[in-house]
Every structure is written in C-alpha cells, then in structure tokens.
Structure 1
C-alpha cells in the first residue's frame, strides 16, 4: 500500500497519476488544497494569499486546462512596483522610466559596471552578492535589496542565490537602456500572462482533481512514523490507526515530517530542525468602492509600507466579490515566532494603503480578515544547501518520498507541485511493475 500525506496539489497529483496502484490519501484538514485553497466571507472570496497559474511545462498546462475546461480566463499581467511615489512596471530592472532621474542614473551606471566585473560561480555567492554582480549597485539599492529584506526578514548575505534562475529575469544592456527610456519591445519575467479560474477562486483547481481521486481520508493527520518497521500512525476523530506502508509520499513540511519519524538518526533530526523559513500574514479586505485600481498586484520595497505586496482578486475575476466593491489582499512577512496583534496589523495595513493612494480615508472595509500562513517561504541559506540533500536521501532510504514546495523545502510553483506528483507516481508505478 502507498500512503500519501497531504492533499495539496502535489498529493492530489500523486494520487491522480497512480493509475491502478493501491493508495490512501490522508489530509488533516476537512478539505483538500493545502495552501491552494479559497474561502468566502460576507460575499467575498479570497485565496490563501495570491495563487496565479503560469506554466513552463506544456504537458502540465494541458492537464490543468483539461481539468478546468471552460473555467479559466487568461490575463495579461498588470504588475507594478510602487517606489519614490511612482508606479513602474514589473520587473523593476527593465522599467526604471518615470523614476527620479538620479535613480535611473544609479540603475544604469550600476548595471554597466557589472558587465566588466569578474563573477564567481552562482552557488558560491550570497543573494546579496548575486544581486550586485548581476544587476548592479543602483538596482540593488533602489529595489532588490530592500524588497528582498522585507520579504525574507533576514540580511541577504545570509541567503544563497541557488533559487533565482527562473524567478529573477537577467536583462542585457539593451533591455536596461530601453527600460530607462520607456521603450517596450518584449515581455520579461516568468509570468507575463497567467490563467485564473472564472469562479470559486483557486480552490477550483484542487477540487477539479477530486473526481479522479479514490481513498481520500479527510480529517486524518499523520502523527508518527516508525521508519524501520515502515509503520505510520494516523489520527482522526475516531482515534488513532496504525498503517503499514510499502512507500510513503509526504507533502508536509520536511521539518514536520522529520519530527514525526521516531527512529531517524539524531544528526538528521538536528539538520531538519535548523532549516529556516518565513511566515506571512495575508490580510484580506473587501472595500465598499469599485475599481480602487486596475492592477493585478503591486510590490512595495520601501520601509514605510509594512507589506511587501498587495493583490486585487476582483481584477482576476469579478465573481470574487460584490457588485460595486473591490477586494484586495496584502502580504506581510514575519519571523515564525513573532506575533502582531490583529488590531495593530489592520491599523498598519490601512495606514500604508492610504499612504500609497490605494485607499481613501472615506473608504469602508466591509470585510477584514487575517490569515497567518506559518510556512510561507523557505530560506535558501548555506545550511539548507548542505543539509537538505542528505535529509531527503535518508528519508528515501526508508521508503519515504518528500515532495512539493515544503516537502522538498524549495521555492516552486503550483505547476511544479503537480509535476512532482506525476514524477513520483511514475517512479512508484515503475518500481511496482518490476516487483510484480
């Protein structure tokens, strides 16, 4: 029997692709989706912070489009940075036109200086050094460093740069100059367009897997694994039940998975306990005024704004709110152990949104709701680079496959979660056929 822990996209995809093999899918919540969920409050639908579909793999795109046939809308990205009291298009490095002249000069001269500088291998550099080497001091100063420090909540010389390749577009000198002059001749970034469900929010995607998934156990949590005996203990409302497993696929955070494995070597447990991450407050608001902005999302690098990003769900789909209203979410990073009282948090958000001109003093919040996402972004630091491969190998030696954004402790997309589920299902099916 194959046991799958977690019915987020990676777990659902694993179950979907395990054609003909016996499995059980365990989910501790009472609904599927993991963080790829939506909820409705007083007529507004919010996701568990922003979830937009963009694809690099044609086969995964085809699968999602088949699952959500006729229920997706394509959008051209309207994404901006707000800094120096000016909106510039994302990504910052190729859209400096409109910023104060001295800022544009800093960005141009800083980038030009990188063209002749000697660079070390990417894996040997901190994120801070990668930004300076590839984008220059001006872009680092005016966007990349303050934004990333706000997001990651640590100094950038503590982080490595081995995750940036697909997320941070590297321009050439023509792109930088065109961006300073306001010339637009190509799209930049991994998501110049995106897909989003017409109705129901992003939960429409995990829900679309359900007709093809069997043996789903909701409200069932993994509490302990004896890896030597290949026995896993699950708890639900009726009590606890021990199950044997041939293979176990886990999509829970690898830090939590290792805690539940009672017989792993102490060195592995210590290595997993030292992995770091950042938590995020997602503050969801419904506003009594239509059209507060035509943008999809906005980045805020400057310290006077407590949030690093704001998004506008009703611009993804008007079905996500009430007529004559607007909705938005703002994201505020915090260390996992830090707690901000909700009233204080909402006050900071309101002040920041008014300072940015998004809200007016006369606007009324019909809905105010705060979600604290404990595991939001994993930190790529030197410890992760050393420790994670051995943690994952040790788990695999014991029949446990840790996959997904938090299972593999990485910065990946919904597409990647679906792809990893398909890949592990293929491996298990091949192994099963060889053993038969």
Structure 2
C-alpha cells in the first residue's frame, strides 16, 4: 500500500517541474505532488555561492521569453522593480587576438584583411551554390558551409561548436537551429566590410533580465514559494530510487512510496529508464548523446578593468583557452560578489605566483564564470582544469598575470547539454510515445532532450503544457512545434479553448495539429 496517492506526480523541481506544479496548482483539478532530491529548487537553473560570497549560476543563464504566461509567473514571484536588472547584451567573439562583435558572421569587418577575404569568398561561393541545392543539408556541418561558406566555418563555426558540444559538427543534425544561429546577409556583410562598420544586435536575447539578488536560482526559489509547500517533497530522502510503471508507483530513498495516476518526469530520460529497469527503453536512450559541463568561477580583487567594460558573455573558438564561453558575472548584478568592504585573502596571482600579503584586504571585487564541455570525443584534464582555465583567461586578455584571485569555484554537471545528434529524433520518436503509453510524460531539457526548446522559458512551458495535455487534452506546442513557438511572442494561456485559434494559424503555415481531446 502506498504512503501517498496522487492523480499527478511531478519528478524534479527545476523550471519544467515547477512549471508543471504551477499549472497543477492553478487548475486545481485533482491531487498532485512534486519530488526532488535537492533541498533547494532550481535544478540546472540553480545558483551556488562560494565561501567568500561569490555567486555562480549553473552555466550562462539569462531571462528572455517567448511566452506571456512565463512572464506572468516570473513577475508574480519577483514582482518589484528592484528585484531585477535589465541589460543590453554586449557580446563578443575572441578571435585573432581581437574582439569581434556577436554574431561573428555578421561582423567579419573586425578581422584582419586576409581573413575578411577568406570569409567573403566563402559566403559568395555559398550564395552561388545555394541556387542549385535541391536537398536539405545532411548535417550541421553541411548547413554551416551552405549558409556561411568555408571561411567562417573554419575560422569560427567548426572550432567553436566543437568546444561547445564536444562532438564534431558532422555528427549533429541541423533541425534544432531555428533562431539560435544568425544566417549572414551577404549584402549587409559586404557593405559593413567596405565601410568598416559593425552590425547591430541580433537575436531574442539582445535585451535580457537578471535577478538583482540570489542569481538565477533565486528566481526558481521564489517561484516555488508561490506553491503550497506541503506538496513539495524536497531533499535527499525524496530521491527517486525506483519507478514501477505497472504498479504506477515511485519509491523514494527515504522509503516512502507514492502511487500516481499520471507521471510528469523531468529528470534525464536515460536515468529514468535505469530507474524503470526497462531494457528496451534503455537501449533506445543509448542513442541519445550529451556533454558534461564544467563551470569554473574566478573571483578577483580590484576595480573591473576597462578592457572588460560592460561585456556580458563572450565566445572563444580558438585553442588558447579550454572554455567556449566566459561570462562577466559581476556585470549582471552588484550582489553577485562580496561587497567592497568585505575583507578577503588573496589566494594567489593569476600567473600562479604567491600573493604579496597573507592579510585579508578589502575589495572591490569582480568575477568571471567560464564553461568547458567534456565528452568521450573531447576529454578534459579535470585535475588541471582550474589552472588551465585561469591561464586561458590570461591568454585571451580576460585576466592580467598580476590580477589578485581571492576565490575559485569548479563544479561539473554530468548532463550539461543534450546533443542534437543525427540519431536524436529517431530515438525520441520511439522513447516519448512509449512512455506516454505507460502514463509518463517525460519533459524538460533532458526529459524530452530537445535543446531548441531548452531555455528556461521553454522548459517552464514544457511543464505547463504537459499538465494541460494531461488534464485538458491540449496540444503541447513547445514540444511538438519548436519553430512555431520560437517564431513569435506567445500570449495564449495554453488552454483547450485557445487551441482552435492556434490551430488555424498553424494550418495557415501548412502545419497539421491533431486534436488529442
């Protein structure tokens, strides 16, 4: 006999699980509960704090949204103007010892002349050859060459994406791209090269919000506080250790058993398969690939230098640094680091030499956060990764050899990026329907394994829409039609009565939506 019986059980208190819980609480149809092994909600959108008081997110997270529903929930959790800072994205690519404005492919005017010529030749060739292509590109690498040419491919896109994904671009599909990669406009690029001008901001995150306090994780702690606390079962004892699909029960580490009618799973689907002990499902999940993300933080004493300025996040395609991205995390909020009057010891200088004094001294302070990917195709020297990262910061002018380092941070997240591999969609086409027949909806960054809808707003809405499907029979737009949701600002509340309007719009775009009521 189960210790608890609920109509809907949610596994995971990251953005997807909290989205599901928010919607379940709002609709108030039947009983529900949420379980998570961590005592603090947030999942892969959480924030750590070092002993010295520096904050680091689980990678580079910012808030920008495709959904009004998401905005409303976030604003309910953090409703005051002083809860947020709004920033204009200032991003660059470090290449050829210079900073090239993002997106790189639109700003090659910043490169040395020889590299400008190679990039322009490649774009011209790509534009000419595009007229004769009758089939879609077979992989991400072919997409890059068709869209941008071999010059940009070799200089930036291939090396950078290998550093991010930890697999070659030839092993990735290109359906996931959507709005994430800017295709260069040949006329505009040519004009900017001749005039020596940079292109303007591009993309959905050109303007973004960041919480004033507690980092990105503070958002999700605040969202969780808007829910009935007795329904949130958090902490080590609530770690899921077994899923019995026949009995519709979940067993927790502390010994409690929960019986469910429907299960919304947001843990990685390969881990779910292991907890189910389902060999067929396990064989399918082996077709899914992911990379591990190492997050490295460095806290520095001193006034933020002019060479850093108001930069937000920065990209690094070249081999002189192990990281693919660095974020000037102190620029997001003055509370992401200790206040200036805080006294801290200098651990060592950036070049590894000893500090001049062992006495704690006051700030001010600023910080950098770097990300490094790892996979079987891209191994990492973990033991020396912190040292190599700091040297990479010196190599790329983020740090100077004499900078005083007062705090360091390193944490590895095993499931960091869900790889849009060539095999992914074929595996998901088997995995997700198979689970649904067993009353399990697996959703989220790794629950449904679709990076193209893996941002915080997407993840939250995957949970919301999963509940709408379970309780109302609604269509899950984010899961099924990523290009559609990424191409508009969604104001619908994902209710059944709103589906007819959305369906007409989709049909006008030659997309068929099958009613699931």
TM-score, normalised to structure 1's length?
A: 0.93
Contact 1:94 1:178 in 2 (8 A): no
Name the CA shift for 1:291/1:121 in 2 (closer, same or farther; >3 Å): farther
What is the root-mean-square deviation in Å for CA atoms of aligned residues? 2.0
| 1:87 matched to 2:87 | no
Match in the other structure for 2:286? 273
**Unaligned segments of structure 2, at least 5 residues:** 1-5, 341-363, 475-494, 497-517
Write out per-residue CA displacement over residues 119-165 of structure 1, whole angstroms, 9 at most, x where no aligned residue. 3554x521110100111111101100010111122221111111111
Match in the other structure for 1:413? 455
Write out per-residue CA displacement over residues 31-85 of structure 1, whole angstroms, 9 at most, x where no aligned residue. 1000111122212111112111112223323332332222121100010000100
| 1:221 matched to 2:239 | yes
Match in the other structure for 2:40? 31
Write out per-residue CA displacement over residues 307-336 of structure 1, whole angstroms, 9 at most, x where no aligned residue. 111111110111111321111111111116
Match in the other structure for 2:206? 192
Q: Distance in 2 between matches of 1:154 and 1:431?
A: 38
Match in the other structure for 1:52? 62
Helix, strand or coil: the match of 1:162?
coil
Match in the other structure for 2:3? none
Write out per-residue CA displacement over residues 383-436 of structure 1, whole angstroms, 9 at most, x where no aligned residue. 2121112101000000001111110112120010111111112122225999xx
Match in the other structure for 2:390? 350
Helix, strand or coil: the match of 1:97?
helix
Q: Distance in 1 between matches of 2:74 and 2:420?
A: 29
Name the CA shift for 1:149/1:404 in 2 (closer, same or farther; >3 Å): same
Helix, strand or coil: the match of 2:18?
helix
Q: Distance in 1 between matches of 2:54 and 2:200?
A: 35
| 1:312 matched to 2:312 | no
Match in the other structure for 1:340? 381
Higher gyration radius (CA): 2
Contact 2:292 2:413 in 1 (8 A): yes
Helix, strand or coil: the match of 1:319?
coil
TM-score, normalised to structure 2's length?
A: 0.79
Write out per-residue CA displacement over residues 208-253 of structure 1, whole angstroms, 9 at most, x where no aligned residue. 2123222000121111112122122122xxx312221100001101
Contact 2:109 2:198 in 1 (8 A): no
Contact 1:308 1:331 in 2 (8 A): yes
Contact 1:25 1:216 in 2 (8 A): yes
Aligned structure 1 segments of 4 or more residues deviating by more than 6 angstroms: none
Q: Distance in 2 between matches of 1:15 and 1:320?
A: 29
| 1:327 matched to 2:367 | yes
Match in the other structure for 1:43? 53
Match in the other structure for 2:480? none
Match in the other structure for 2:173? 160
2:315 to 265, 289, 299: 299
Name the CA shift for 1:354/1:135 in 2 (closer, same or farther; >3 Å): same
Q: Distance in 2 between matches of 1:58 and 1:182?
A: 39
Match in the other structure for 2:153? 140
Matched ranges for 1:254-269 at <5 A: 254-262=269-277, 264=278, 266-269=279-282
**Unaligned segments of structure 1, at least 5 residues:** none
Q: Shift of residue 340 of structure 1? A: 3.0
2:12 to 6, 18, 22: 6
| 1:359 matched to 2:359 | no
